[in-house]
A and B are shown apart, each in its own frame.
Chain A
Amino acid sequence: MPEGVVYDLGYRPHEGERLGRAGAVRALYRDGVRRVLGMRRRARRKVLPAVLIGIAVLPALFFVALDVFLADFGDLPPFFDHPGYFDWMGNFILIFCALAAGELLIPDRQYGTIAVYASRPLRAADYVGGRAAAMVAVVFGFVWLPHLVLLVGRAWTSSEGFGAYLGGNLDVLWQTAVATLVYLAAYSAPAFAAAVYSSRQSLAIFLYLVAFYAVFATAHAVVAAGYRIVGIVSLPDHAGSVKDWIMGSDTQEWLAEAAGITPALSLLIIAAITGASAWLVMRRYRSEL
């Protein structure tokens, strides 16, 4: 009968290459993506991201199906187009950004993991950069994937044929991608800043959403009362205005436009908010890493 042998390999030093800063940032990015999507976590951590992704993608599939069944009734309303899809998705993009930012930044401070990062070859900019890259990847996928489904689905069911439909609508690919980046900047950057200054995830998400909607509702009420310039503070309206500018659409009258702000200026305002948020985030981590 063969006997098993236990080998004690002891301590084996690492003699291979060390990737340094680049390896650390890559690890931060990969961990960030997994964390937001609940990958390699318990099942309950996967539920919320899965539900939100489902909410984002399923309507696109539904619209494709509607195309097939309602084709005989003529043109579909703009609600079913790509610009309209952004409007419909707006609230979910906001919620997803708040959840993702909280998940990416707060547990590291809440559970003291920042101390581990402080002993690794990375600076504050690397940490923030790695986490921001994860945010961009996940939110971009969340927002853009439905448009891809919508485009490919319509091409697949089109009477023109797959190739002809896709060839005739290639502009949609870059337009939706750029519009996605605009929404990402407008909603993610402030969510990052909010998450950095809170030590409890649920509280940070709640306060961010409350503040966002309070500003939005107040701006709409004040503009309705005649003070149109107040429309400048409504971030979703800036994002919507820029989106329509990029896509050559006009889904609704945005408060930014009512306040006399051009889409180009709206884009600058979004860029300024992103820059200010990045400064706040870096200020927080510079003393810790």
Chain B
Amino acid sequence: MPSAPARLGGTATSVSVMPPTVAASGLRFAYGDIVALSGLDLEIPSGLIGLVGANGAGKTTLLKLLLGILSPAAGKVEVLGRPMPERTLEVRSRVGYMPEGPCLPPDQTASDFLIYAAELGGLPLRAARQRASDVLTIVGLHEERFRPLGGFSTGMQQRAKLAQAIVHDPELVLLDEPTAGLDPEGREEMLDLITRLDDFGINAVVSSHVLPDIERTCTWVVMLDGGKVLRSGPLTDLSTTESVHLEVLDDRDRVAAALEASGAVVTPDGNGLLVTLADGDPSGLVRDVLADTGVGIRRMGPRRITLEDVYLAGGGGQGGEDA
């Protein structure tokens, strides 16, 4: 397990030209004897950022530190360039939070609660009314705005939770398991909304167990494990590889032997073969071998590494209670 964040490739610098939305160094926090974050070093750029990790990895603790609910035992953390917890109130004016658990009063209408949430964020009443109406339209709840929140379906409640997180027009929004409990249709709607946050100029940190959701929405991913940063970098660096995945129609062994004879490393991968060349892209070699052997193919393409692959390879995935 690395003790410092491992940057993923050269493109990280090009993404990080903007000042970081979150910067932490030597961040430590413990609940009594249980260490939740242990000397965490981290820089999160602007954009849509995924925060992944098993239960107990420290995701929720990190979000609470970013909101100033908890104070670090050691180390420093800055949110939007402001040190925490010294400038908590200033940061909270510019940050939204969508908690994992319920947060909606069932006896209030969506409109009333959104206006209230905007006023709590510091907006004057008139602006709060306007923003509440706009945001309810954006999340697709405008028709339901005069219904009590207690009568909303799970999907509608999740959208209302997202609405309250952005109603005061924050610069950064922290989303804790935004797709939890949603059916496939609701999940798609939520992921679409999260993707649109970037168009609105709102940075987001999306904490999730569901790695495909992070792959679908985020441009940068931070992996936590055991209170430390396992990896932090652009998602493109994770998914790009110079290996080629090949599925042949017949005589797989003959193709594998020919590739190995040409210097490639070939490993079985499900129904296909994974071809890697020590000094670069093996695509040309594969094409030539296929032409020489005359073997037909069903599919061929660069091997895509999922977050799950990286996470499991990095030693993550051990269970425990969420810190």
Contacts and interface: CB of A to CB of B under 8 A. Distances in A.
B127 A12 contact: no
Interface string B155-179: 0000000001100110000100000
A115 B103 contact: yes
Interface string A45-61: 10000000000000000
Interface stretch (B15-23, B43-51, B114-122): B114-122
A8 to B, nearest CB: 9
Interface string B101-123: 11111111100100011011111
Contacts of B148: 42
A113 B122 contact: no
A120 B121 contact: yes
Interface in A114-154: 115-123
A26 B119 CA distance: 8
Contacts of A16: 123-124, 127
Nearest to A16: B127
A284 interface: no
Q: Give the most central of A12, A20, A23, A123: most B CB within 10 Å.
A: A23
B39 interface: no
Interface stretch (B85-93, B226-234, B269-277, B285-293): B85-93
B131 interface: yes
Contacts of B124: 16-17, 19, 23
A93 B170 CA distance: 42
Nearest to B176: A115
B134 A120 contact: no
A28 B120 CA distance: 7
Contacts of A289: 69
A123 B105 contact: no
Given A20-B89, A121-B93, A122-B89, A9 B127 contact: no
A153 B92 CA distance: 50
Interface string B122-143: 1110010001001000100000
Contact of A122 (B105, B112, B120, B127): B120
Contact of B69 (A14, A111, A112, A118): A118
Given A116-B103, A289-B69, 14 more contacts: A11-B200, A14-B131, A14-B168, A18-B122, A19-B123, A21-B89, A23-B119, A23-B124, A24-B119, A41-B107, A42-B107, A112-B101, A113-B104, A119-B95
B97 interface: yes
Interface of A: 9, 11-14, 16-21, 23-24, 26-28, 31, 40-42, 45, 107-108, 111-113, 115-123, 288-289
A120 B68 CA distance: 10
29 contacts: A14-B123, A14-B131, A16-B123, A18-B121, A19-B123, A19-B124, A20-B89, A24-B122, A28-B120, A40-B109, A41-B107, A41-B108, A107-B107, A111-B104, A111-B106, A113-B105, A115-B99, A116-B99, A117-B120, A119-B96, A120-B92, A120-B117, A120-B120, A120-B122, A120-B168, A121-B89, A121-B92, A121-B93, A122-B120
Contacts of A118: 67, 69, 97
Contacts of B169: 13-14
Contacts of A115: 97, 99, 101, 103
Contacts of B201: 11, 13
Contacts of B127: 14, 16
Q: Which 7 A-B pairs have the closest CB atoms?
A: A119-B97, A27-B119, A115-B99, A14-B169, A18-B122, A120-B120, A11-B200
A116 B167 CA distance: 12
A162 B253 CA distance: 110
Contact of A27 (B95, B104, B105, B120): B120
A120 B99 CA distance: 13
Contacts, number: 110
A45 B107 contact: yes
Interface of B: 67, 69, 88-90, 92-93, 95-97, 99, 101-109, 112, 116-117, 119-124, 127, 131, 134, 138, 148, 164-165, 168-169, 174, 199-201
A17 B119 CA distance: 12
SS of A interface (majority): loop
Contacts of B168: 14, 120
Given A112-B103, A115-B97, A119-B165, A11 B199 contact: yes
* Candidate in A9, A24, A111, A120 with the most chain B CB atoms within 10 angstroms: A120
A27 B107 CA distance: 17
Contacts of A14: 123, 127, 131, 168-169
Nearest to B168: A14
A121 B121 contact: yes
A288 B69 contact: yes
A14 B99 CA distance: 23
B119 A112 contact: no
A130 to B, nearest CB: 10
A239 to B, nearest CB: 32
Contacts of A20: 89, 93, 122
A17 B124 CA distance: 8
Query: Looking at A18, A40, A45, A288, which has the most chain B CB atoms within 10 Å of its CB?
Result: A18
B29 to A, nearest CB: 14
A12 B104 CA distance: 24
B138 A11 contact: yes
Contacts of A45: 107
